Amino acid sequence: MARRRGICFTIPRLSNELRRGLSSREIYPQRNIVECAINRLKQWRPIARRYEKLAGNYTAMITIACILLWL
């Protein structure tokens, strides 16, 4: 399904893995930025535990946390 959409691997495959696939060298460095942002968001307990069950409230909480991290 991912191949039909043109999605490639972010992490390069090891030489001893059976499945092969192309990885993007441009996207790989950006992966670290995304992972660090997610880890910083997980420090906010309501986001990590997902206290809010409504999607709108949860999205608003993530937006506020992102703004506070950015400042």
* For the chain, domain boundaries: 2-70
For CA atoms 32, 34, 38, 41, give the dihedral sign.
positive
Q: What is the model's pTM?
A: 0.56
Cα 67 off chain centre by = 17
pLDDT at position 60 is 92
pLDDT at position 42 is 87
The DSSP letter of residue 14 is P
- Per-residue pLDDT tens for 40-59? 888 888 888 888 888 998 89
Do 47 and 65 contact (CB within 8 A), yes or no? yes
pLDDT at position 71 is 82
- Per-residue pLDDT tens for 8-38? 666 767 777 777 666 667 777 788 888 888 8
pLDDT at 68 over 80: yes
Q: Return d(Cα 49, Cα 38) in angstroms, integer.
A: 14
Q: Two tokens at 49?
A: 């535990």
